[in-house]
Amino acid sequence: VQLQASGGGLVQTGGSLRLSCQASGFTLGYTTIGWFRQAPGKEREGVSCIRNSDGSTKYAQPVRGRFTISRDYAKNTVYLQMNSLKPEDTAVYFCAASRSGLIHTTMLNSDYYNYWGQGTQVTVSS
């Protein structure tokens, strides 16, 4: 089981990036895929996730309305479209997979995720 995150980079405030999380060794199926981020000196936080059984999504309040999570079953990939980026979005972004569909209250809780990819750096300059 592997998760490959990509798409990070350096962007100016107000810019956009699209992160990709390609899964291998399993199919999206009934998993939940989440995006998390960790800024220097801060704890890891949940950003967004998608429950693949029904497409239900959840967003952390700081990114609501700016970020959109989506999936492509054919490519076994989950995307995070990030618009209107702010300097406070600067962090290493990780994707993770839970073997099962998570209920709403646990969807952004990293304790419920079984597999993690390597991070991709997102830097937003002011």
By the 8 A CB rule, do 7 and 18 touch? yes
Q: What is the mean pLDDT of residues 83-111?
A: 94
* pLDDT at res. 30: 86
Residue 110 to residue 52: CA distance in whole angstroms? 17
Q: Residue written as tokens 């304790």?
A: 111
- Report how far apart, in Å, the C-alpha atoms of 5 and of each of 13, 104, 126 are: 22, 24, 25
Q: What is the mean pLDDT of residues 29-33?
A: 92
* pLDDT at res. 100: 85
Residue 100 to residue 26: CA distance in whole angstroms? 12
100 - beta bridge partners? none
Q: What is the mean pLDDT of residues 34-46?
A: 97
Locate 47 and state its tokens: 């950003």
pLDDT band with cut points at 50, 70 and 90 for residue 104:
confident
Tally of CA atoms within 13 A in the half-sphere of 51 that contains its CB: 16
Q: What share of the chain is helix, strand, coil (3-state, %, to 5)?
A: 10, 50, 40
* pLDDT at res. 21: 98
